[in-house]
A and B are shown apart, each in its own frame.
Chain A
Amino acid sequence: MAPARLGTGRGTVTTAARAGLVSCESCHLVSRPVSRAEPGFCPRCGEKLESRRHGSIGTTWALLISATICYVPANLLTVLDTTTPSGTDGDTIMGGVIYLYTSGSWPLALVVLIASVMIPLGKLVSLAYLLISVQRGSAASHRERTRLYRIVVFIGRWSMLDVFVDTFTVALVQLQPLMSVAPGPGVLFFAAVVVLTMLAAESFDPRLIWDSANKSEPKHG
């Protein structure tokens, strides 16, 4: 069944912030905070109340920049080191994709390419764009930016794929002296990119996107 859009047309929107209320991010209970500066905790579920997440932009930038720094060694260092009697061979993330492609399973190569290369890069770029547009007070394409944020949150977890692939390859291929696989130093950096971008997406407050909507359209405020 198609969702019923609440209300009709572009009527007046009274936001909770304007009415001096705070909506709980966990249980969505709207309550009147003790004070505007120190809203306290949600009376129903105990979550910390914040009209806008405290220091959201600064925290998100810090996590995003750390993730970008980790992205470089994550792609340059090896994630899997295979030891056979003929020597040790290292594989980077991209090397793994190429290996899958040349060994004939291109659909799988595509899945890994999307999950390990394109999603992390896309997240870094999208979050940077969202932060810059909020800081500049951009009053355009609110809905599209909100949708972009939701996509970033939704697909973020999938870039953990390579960490799991490496874990299970290492766990299974321990056939000394015939062949053994050890995790390379790149795994740690790669996992760091995934976790840091996930935390960055969590610390970004999507409500900031809409703050400019209320300033620029007072008749809808």
Chain B
Amino acid sequence: MQRIPALAPGASAACRRCGRILSKRPTGPRDLPLALAITAAIALIVANSLPLMELHVVGRFASTTIAGGAYEMWEQGQRVTSILVAFCALIAPVGFVSFMLVLLIAERRPRLPPWTGEMLRWVGHLQVWSMLEVVMLGILVALIKIAQLATVDPGIGMYAFGASVLLIPAIMTHFDKADLWRRLAWAPDEAR
């Protein structure tokens, strides 16, 4: 057991035994994570409603979104894979950003709502399965592969998607999770 000392902004503390970073005080203004989360939410909405990429070949035209990709997999009989793609590329990132938005708004109130701890815990689980950066690389590889056969153009959705890939880790870098945990009041053992 180790006691983490009060840290200056930008400082971090590492475990004495295994060297893992135990706590890190983020720098930057207090409103930065909320601003980033709002931007990420807008970018995600745009990325999922506009086509990610468009294909032109001999007068034919095709375009797709993330949901369209998962839908096509379902149509082709790969239902399990389709659900997995939908979860990692759509449900988990959207859930993650919406939970973060709610948490960051709740955090501004003097008294934290009772569900804050539960939600913060769920954010951690969602983060593991939110794989936007992997999806991004996957789309790029697919684009280059198809580019050998037809003309492919990245759509507007692609730029919004790129922005959300960068914004999501930025929220976590500037969000002081340890501080929020410290502020949480909990029922003492006897009350349970």
Contact = CB atoms under 8 A, between A and B. Distances in A.
Contacts of B68: 171
Which of A21, A27, A178 is most buried by chain B, counting CB atoms within 10 A of its CB? A27
Given A4-B12, A105-B144, A171 B18 contact: no
Interface string A49-61: 0000000000000
A219 B5 CA distance: 25
Interface string A178-196: 1100110001100100010
Contacts of B46: none
Closest 10 CB pairs of A and B: A164-B138, A45-B117, A3-B14, A171-B69, A168-B142, A44-B186, A171-B72, A171-B64, A3-B12, A167-B69
Nearest to B15: A6
B134 A3 contact: no
A31 B189 CA distance: 9
A187 B78 contact: yes
A164 B138 CA distance: 5
Given A172-B55, A172-B146, A4 B14 contact: yes
Contact of B134 (A14, A150, A161, A172): A161
Interface in B170-192: 181, 184, 186-189, 192
Given A46-B118, A169-B146, A30 B55 contact: no
B116 to A, nearest CB: 9
A108 B144 contact: yes
Which of A46, A99, A115, A172 is most buried by chain B, counting CB atoms within 10 A of its CB? A172
A172 B62 contact: yes
Interface string A144-175: 00110010000001101111110111111111
Contact of A172 (B16, B124, B142, B184): B142
A167 B70 contact: yes
Nearest to A28: B181
B17 interface: yes
Interface in A1-22: 1, 3-7, 11, 13-16, 19, 21
